[in-house]
Amino acid sequence: MEITIKDSLKLIEESKEYEKFKQEHPNAEICAGFFIIDFFGNDNKRSIDYKCDSDIFTCSLRDDDSIKVEQDKLIELKDVKLPELKTVNPDIKIDLDEVSSIARIKTLDEGISAKFSKIIAVLQRYDHQGKDMQVWNLTCMLEGLIIIHMLIDAQTGDIIKFERKSFMDMVKKK
């Protein structure tokens, strides 16, 4: 089975753990989907984040499709205010199965032929040039220590941002 937000959400919403969570937090709304697609190992992750007032809860799907619900402990930083998480609508046209293909095609178009190792994909709300939209925020790790950061419109599949980095660029020299 391909990893998609729709399939993941269905498994979560049909679980007893989610039913209990919704009874305790009836106003909880989806604020993000978080996925890791591991092409070489078995380190795939699937979770949906919910917000209820100022609290964030993560519903994680385990490999056996069981559900674990945990309240996130947000890091408090002095003089730093975290942005408000907006509600995400999981009824999107471009799901994870297509996002992976879009990322691979764009990378080849940019002349990068290295194999993908992992994709970290987050479905979230994003303000692009004053327009509020839902995007797939991708961090792609490729062979050769190449890192690709992409933003893909979750409704159209359009690439909003494409940036190539090297892991070595991120290591600060002292």
The C-alpha atoms of residue 17 and residue 47 are separated, in whole angstroms, by 14
Q: Which pLDDT does position 63 carry in this prediction? A: 78
- Where residue 157 falls (left for φ over 0; alpha for ψ -120 to 50; beta otherwise) is left
Q: Which pLDDT does position 76 carry in this prediction? A: 60
Per-residue pLDDT at 1 exceeds 50: no
Query: 96-170 sits in which CATH class?
Result: alpha beta
- Pairing of β 159-166 and β 116-128: unpaired
Residue with tokens 């729709």: 6
Mean of all residue pLDDT scores within the chain: 88
Q: To the nearest whole percent, how much of the chain has pLDDT over 90?
A: 63
Eight-state DSSP code of residue 28: -
Per-residue pLDDT at 152 exceeds 90: yes
CB atoms within 10 A of CB 91: 11
pLDDT grade for 57, boundaries at 50, 70 and 90: very high
Give mean pLDDT, residues 80-104. 84
CB distance 124 to 112 below 8 Å: no
Q: Which pLDDT does position 42 carry in this prediction? A: 81
Stretch (H or E) spanning 165: strand 159-166
Give mean pLDDT, residues 160-167. 89
Identify the three-state secondary structure at position 68: strand
Evaluated on CA atoms 33, 38, 44, 45, the torsion sign reads: negative
Beta bridge partners of 124: 135
| Extents of the domains making up the chain | 96-170
